[in-house]
Amino acid sequence: MGSLAFTLDLIATFAFAVVGARIAINRKMDYAGIILIALVASLTGGTLRNLFLGIAPSWLENYQYFLVIIAAVLFAVIAPAKKPIGTFIISIDSFGLAVAVVSGTQFALEKNAPFYSAALLGITTAVAGGLLRDVLCQVEPILLHRETIGTSSVLGALTYLGLDALALSNDISAIAAGVVVIAVRALSIKFNINLPRAK
């Protein structure tokens, strides 16, 4: 894994682990449950991405992932939270979503995945952990009913791939794609914009 993709992976891991631990705390889980949810929330997306690419999950060879998750759990336990899911936690989750989309898409490209596969793997990296987290915490998965998490991830992955195809630098592509993800999710939350529901 390239240095940029690895760094982005660690950042996303921390963000998702914080959110997972915070939700587990709000569900009155014990410390073992909190750690398990943090692990699931932060490692599932990247693990699936790697398995689909036919390579071992990154955390099997890099202990840094676990150090980051431990730090995230400690942060979630110590940091005060006045509401079940506050603005700060949503902000962290949105940032993690953006970083995961970029790192997943870029990593797939590094492994010579075709355009459509890179997009799907970027999206998987971003949303799979949160989906499984919500299922294990017995809450309605956010991905399936609000905040356009999936839509923002799709647009972010396509933005990165489009700019990469134009031979722009990785930094510019990553920043632009991340901004798209955060902006789309922020606007969907602020103005309560969601995809149409079946009648």
CA distances from 39 to 50, 160, 184, 189 (A): 16, 27, 27, 26
Per the structure, the complete domain to which residue 13 belongs is given by 3-190
Instruction: Answer yes or no: is 198 within a domain.
Output: no
Give the pLDDT of residue 55: 94
Is residue 84 pLDDT above 70, yes or no? no
Instruction: Answer yes or no: is 195 within a domain.
Output: no
Give the pLDDT of residue 81: 62
Instruction: Answer yes or no: is 118 within a domain.
Output: yes
Convert the pLDDT of each residue in 100-147 to its tens digit: 999 999 999 999 999 999 999 999 999 999 999 999 999 988 887 765
- Express as a percent the part of the chain with pLDDT over 90: 74
Instruction: Answer yes or no: is 15 within a domain.
Output: yes
Domains in the chain, number: 1
Give the pLDDT of residue 89: 81
How far apart, in whole angstroms, are the C-alpha atoms of residue 1 and residue 52? 15
Q: What is the mean pLDDT of residues 175-191?
A: 93
Instruction: Answer yes or no: is 196 within a domain.
Output: no
Q: What is the mean pLDDT of residues 150-168?
A: 95
Which of 141, 151, 165 shows the shortest CA–CA distance to 195?
A: 151
Using 50, 70 and 90 to split pLDDT, how confident is the model at 1?
Answer: low
Name the least confident of 13-17, 48-52, 68-72, 167-171: 167-171
Tokens linked to 192: 């309560």
Instruction: Answer yes or no: is 143 within a domain.
Output: yes
Give the pLDDT of residue 141: 87
Instruction: Answer yes or no: is 166 within a domain.
Output: yes
**How far is C-alpha 147 from the geometric centre of its chain's CA atoms?**
14
Instruction: Answer yes or no: is 12 within a domain.
Output: yes
Rg of the chain on CA atoms, in Å: 16
How far apart, in whole angstroms, are the C-alpha atoms of residue 16 and residue 14? 6
Convert the pLDDT of each residue in 39-73 to its tens digit: 999 999 999 999 999 999 999 999 999 999 999 99
